[in-house]
Amino acid sequence: MNSSAYLFGEDLVDEGVDVVVGHLRSAGLQSATLAGAYHHSRDVFPHGARRKVQYLEGGVAYFQPNQSRYGRIKPVASRYVESADLLLSLADRIATSAWLVVLHNSRLAELHPHCAPITAFGDPLLNSLCPANPDARAYAVALASDVARYQLQAIKLEAVHYMGFDHGSHHERSFVPLSPNIRFLLGLCFCSFCRAAASDLDVSRLQAVVRERISAVFQSAAAETHEKGVEDDTMLELLGGYAAARMQTVTSLVTEIAAAVHAIAPATRVVYLDPCGATLGYATGRPSTEQTATSIGWRDGIDLTSLSQVTDGLGMLGYFADESRFSHELGGYVQVVPAERLEVILRPTPPDTSSSRQLRERIRTLSQRGVGEVSFYHYGFMRLENLDWIGQALR
């Protein structure tokens, strides 16, 4: 079972590449997964050498992009790569994969608002690029193929799907209560390209219905709904074939990305990171619903069965504190993809992990199930003692 840790270019700049690699090797980790493109964030780095709190640049590339590969949308290089190609520097010292946050990019969405998802009211959602938009698709394929020239261990794809209403920018507000169903509906994209992808449907009617349901809540508290989570059956019935069209849009884009990568780097694995474990357990590690990660991907246009067939593997975000829930979720993924093609990403910290013993048991479970790779999120976010837990568990 391969082992890896996710990390940022900021970790390499702050501590030095050799120091970071030394820490990874001392923990028994075989490889590193570097963010090659990432979104805005503010994070705490407990063992940062120069900064403990950092605001990431956001929407930038941590390698030196070949701009001639790109069309209308071009990546913005991080200021750090002006002096050194961080991806190349790391790959020279340890087996390396690139972690690409592809469509969740508010910097590029603000520069190219015509490529952002469009709500039922015609408002752009500037937290991402729409996977149906041709310019956005060209950018996604070019980004992955640009990184493929590094001949890495793997390219791991995050945010190649519909992002929805949430997970956007800072200081997001609504003083009108928005239930999970309404938030879901408000995040649906009705841009011309999504409409064209579902040309056999009456998309105008669907858009009107969605708009009416949201408008009712905007107009009166009497129309508010109080469901605890997205009611999948109700929403699927409302969307009808539009849900299937969204999944086909995402699957076709991932298919194009994988083909472009393999044309340049046949040995580089393309892994699709499914976000649904984070949808359920990111905040507390204890989901408030019994719905499983593998059952809710449709909301974002994710068809895991199809994606497992067009990539070299899937990534499960194992953000579950309870052992029985973790095992249950793992079982759902190995029904979709063979265990040897599954990467399971663990947080060796609270809220998921409270002791080195718990981490050892979890890794033993993955090994017994034949899982191909275990990764840890995130090198910069954890204490160094958590790296020691990883080393003890792997040994």
- Quote the pLDDT of residue 24: 98
User: Does 98 reside within a domain?
Assistant: yes
Torsion sign, CA atoms 69, 74, 77, 78: negative
User: Does 235 reside within a domain?
Assistant: no
- Quote the pLDDT of residue 172: 75
How many C-beta atoms lie closer than 10 Å to residue 181's C-beta? 21
User: Does 257 reside within a domain?
Assistant: yes
Q: How many domains are there within the chain? A: 1
- Quote the pLDDT of residue 253: 98
User: Does 237 reside within a domain?
Assistant: no
- Quote the pLDDT of residue 170: 64
- Quote the pLDDT of residue 73: 98
- HSE of 264, CA atoms in CB hemisphere, 13 A: 21
Q: CB–CB of 394/28 below 8 Å?
A: yes
Q: Indicate the helix (H) or strand (E) that contains 210.
A: helix 203-219
What parts of the chain have a pLDDT lower than 50? none
User: Does 190 reside within a domain?
Assistant: no
User: Does 226 reside within a domain?
Assistant: no
User: Does 236 reside within a domain?
Assistant: no
- Quote the pLDDT of residue 169: 67
- Quote the pLDDT of residue 82: 83
Q: Which domain holds residue 134?
A: 2-172+246-394
Q: CB–CB of 135/251 below 8 Å?
A: no
- Quote the pLDDT of residue 244: 98
CATH number of the CATH domain containing 269: 3.20.20.80
Q: CB–CB of 86/106 below 8 Å?
A: no
User: Does 108 reside within a domain?
Assistant: yes
Q: CB–CB of 249/189 below 8 Å?
A: no
Q: CB–CB of 362/353 below 8 Å?
A: yes
